């Protein structure tokens, strides 16, 4: 039997072409779900076959925000909560570019919440992926607008006294044309959903629940990251097409996942062009009053 000699060439992973390999190893903790979402994003980019010279990624601050530093695309790792305004400017200046926004729940929906609701209302053509790990992981696990009622964090040691946002309901109410929620367990469905969202014209939104074993998981006795994935497996219920207001995240009972919204409506750019075209048209001759003729 011939024994094949080990190759001197370093092994090449199918996603290496999308990765800034020189920046690896990454900073994410063992078991963190962000890497899984990053893999799904790269898989969706490859599946969509989009022109990589016309694709950009924008992120804010936080553990998820690091994705923009690891992807081999035109990418922008921006200031806290401002990923959407940066992405909006980029999209308006370069309308031919597909813009992906990838950030955490605190960045997008707390400090960046106002930008989020107005970008959805205006239907800016962006694909926004919110990695929801239920806390501010990078800065020590503080309470976020996603933290479940009663969950422990360093800023809610007795348990959070607040009801969290339903991000999917918020996005849909503000006018998003595509809204879906998956978890880090649903890799194939998540990859398909990101591909679909990238093909939409307008504000598309994806929420992805992910384990944060170092901060949220540890304080809330969720066990290992694998235990959290098992938790998703046992509690997730797929309900495609339901009203997002009914897509509750009730961790004691059900985690509702699925594609909730898939509609069409004019984008901000469509409306901007239509309004300016109307403005530039010469106004019609005023009609003569139909009075009595002069004798």
State the residues that interact with ligand SF4 by CB under 6 A: 28-29, 32, 34, 63, 133, 137-138, 212-215
CA distance 183 to 277: 44
| Closest CB 208 distance from ligand SF4, rounded Å | 12
CA distance 35 to 134: 16
| Closest CB 104 distance from ligand SF4, rounded Å | 8
- Beta strands across the sheet bearing 204-209: 74-77, 55-59, 98-104, 127-132, 204-209, 178-183, 255-262, 236-238
Q: What are phi and psi of 197, to 5 degrees?
A: -60, -35
- Which one, 106 or 113, has the nearer CB to ligand SF4? 106
- Which one, 25 or 289, has the nearer CB to ligand SF4? 25
- Which one, 166 or 214, has the nearer CB to ligand SF4? 214
- Which one, 99 or 151, has the nearer CB to ligand SF4? 151
| Closest CB 140 distance from ligand SF4, rounded Å | 9
- Quote the tokens at residue 241: 């097409």
| Closest CB 106 distance from ligand SF4, rounded Å | 10
| Closest CB 32 distance from ligand SF4, rounded Å | 3
CA distance 189 to 195: 10
- Which one, 34 or 257, has the nearer CB to ligand SF4? 34
Torsion of CA 65, 67, 71, 74, to 10 degrees: -20
Burial (CB count <10 Å: 0-12, 13-18, 19+), residue 26: middle
- Which one, 212 or 256, has the nearer CB to ligand SF4? 212
CA distance 87 to 100: 8
| Closest CB 23 distance from ligand SF4, rounded Å | 15
| Closest CB 2 distance from ligand SF4, rounded Å | 44
- Which one, 89 or 140, has the nearer CB to ligand SF4? 140
Partners of residue 137 on adjacent β-strands: none
Burial (CB count <10 Å: 0-12, 13-18, 19+), residue 58: buried
Integer angstrom CA distances of residue 279 from 177, 188, 275, 282, 285: 27, 47, 6, 8, 15
Q: Answer whether 134's CB lies under 8 Å from 211's CB.
A: no
């Amino acid at each position: 039997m011939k024994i094949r000699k080990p190759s001197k060439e370093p092994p090449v992973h199918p996603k290496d072409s999308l990765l800034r390999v020189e920046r690896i190893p990454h900073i994410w903790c063992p078991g963190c779900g962000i890497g899984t979402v990053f893999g799904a994003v790269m898989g969706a980019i490859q599946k969509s076959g989009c022109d990589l010279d016309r694709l950009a990624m924008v992120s804010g601050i936080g553990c998820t925000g690091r994705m923009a530093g690891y992807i081999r695309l035109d990418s922008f790792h921006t200031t806290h909560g401002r990923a959407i305004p940066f992405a909006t400017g980029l999209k308006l200046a370069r309308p031919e570019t597909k813009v992906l926004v990838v950030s955490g729940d605190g960045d997008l929906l707390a400090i960046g919440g106002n930008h989020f609701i107005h970008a959805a209302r205006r239907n800016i053509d962006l694909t926004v992926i919110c990695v929801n790990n239920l806390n501010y992981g990078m800065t020590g696990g503080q309470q976020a607008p996603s933290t479940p009622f009663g969950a422990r964090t360093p800023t809610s040691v007795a348990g959070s006294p607040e009801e969290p946002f339903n991000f999917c309901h918020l996005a849909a109410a503000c006018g998003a044309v595509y809204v879906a929620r998956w978890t880090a367990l649903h890799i194939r469905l998540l990859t398909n959903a990101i591909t679909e969202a990238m093909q939409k014209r307008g504000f598309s939104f994806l929420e992805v629940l992910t384990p944060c074993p170092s901060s949220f998981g540890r304080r809330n006795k969720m066990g290992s990251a694998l235990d959290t994935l098992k938790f998703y497996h046992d509690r997730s219920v797929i309900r495609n097409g339901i009203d997002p207001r009914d897509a509750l995240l009730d961790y004691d009972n059900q985690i509702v996942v699925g594609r909730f919204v898939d509609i069409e409506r004019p984008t901000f750019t469509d409306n901007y062009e239509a309004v300016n075209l109307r403005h530039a048209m010469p106004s019609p001759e005023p009609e003569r009053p139909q009075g009595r003729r002069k004798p």
